[in-house]
């Protein structure tokens, strides 16, 4: 079964189309108009081994908020759609992701119950042109629409670029493991309830 999805979302604030393949090679074609966000989503694709094509046109003349949040919504919806009924997945995963002086811990439960715990602080208001407060908005939108429980904790770090990047790379690695097909599941949904 191919685990792919395409989501096309248009509002008065953004127009975003995303296509992904959960069992890809990490290929990406990402254009949001927000350079740092593109860089982070490229990291997500490459390290999760999810092929992602995402093109967005947003009201960047106002600020980057709508484009950042809505790209999280669309990618979350695409992941949920591609996972379908979640038969055979591993479901849980966590990773400690180091990058130079920074360490970030990410834990994922592909539960169908969206929740975000965000224990990440930045010492500056911007990275490039993007407001650092928008990273939480992206993760919140993604977790909500993917239907995952997501805990992100920056254990320590000084460089704000590294802190942001370890959050996205940590999500990528944890998500890669959590959505992997576990051959021992035999096609079952990993829950005693029989559904997720």
- The full set of domain ranges for the chain reads 4-185
Identify the CA nearest to 110 among candidates 48, 191, 167. Answer: 191
In this predicted structure, what is the pLDDT of residue 87?
94
Token look-up 């929740």 returns: 115
Within its chain, how far is the Cα of 48 from the centroid?
Answer: 9
Identify the CA nearest to 47 among candidates 152, 163, 177. Answer: 177
Identify the CA nearest to 104 among candidates 165, 178, 161, 36. Answer: 165
Which structure tokens are listed for 42? 């490229």
> Whole-angstrom Cα distance, residue 25 to residue 49?
5
Look at residue 18 and tell me whether its pLDDT is greater than 90: yes
Banded pLDDT at 192 (limits 50, 70, 90): confident
* pLDDT tens, residue by residue, 86-104: 999 999 999 999 999 999 9
Helix (H) or strand (E) holding 154: strand 149-156
* pLDDT tens, residue by residue, 122-163: 999 999 899 999 999 999 999 999 999 999 999 999 999 999
Round the CA-based radius of gyration of the chain to a whole number and report it. 16
pTM as predicted: 0.97
> Whole-angstrom Cα distance, residue 111 to residue 94?
14
CATH number for 4-185: choose from 3.40.50.970, 3.40.50.150, 3.30.230.40, 3.40.720.10. 3.30.230.40
């Amino acid at each position: 079964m191919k685990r792919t999805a395409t989501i096309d979302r248009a509002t008065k604030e953004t127009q975003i189309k995303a296509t992904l393949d959960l069992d890809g090679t990490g290929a990406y074609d990402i254009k949001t108009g927000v350079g740092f966000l593109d860089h982070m989503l490229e990291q997500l694709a490459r390290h999760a081994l999810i092929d992602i094509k995402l093109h967005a046109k947003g009201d960047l003349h106002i600020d980057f908020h709508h484009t950042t949040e809505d790209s999280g919504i669309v990618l979350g919806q695409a992941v949920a759609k591609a996972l379908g009924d979640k038969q055979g997945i591993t479901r849980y995963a966590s990773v400690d992701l180091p990058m130079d002086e920074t360490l970030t811990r990410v834990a994922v439960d592909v539960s169908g119950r969206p929740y975000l715990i965000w224990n990440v602080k930045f010492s500056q208001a911007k990275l490039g042109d993007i407001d650092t407060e928008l990273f939480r908005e992206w993760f919140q939108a993604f977790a909500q629409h993917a239907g995952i429980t997501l805990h992100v904790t920056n254990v320590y770090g000084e460089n704000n670029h590294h802190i942001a990047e370890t959050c996205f790379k940590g999500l990528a690695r944890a998500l890669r493991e959590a959505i992997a097909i576990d051959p021992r599941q035999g096609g079952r949904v990993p829950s005693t309830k029989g559904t997720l």
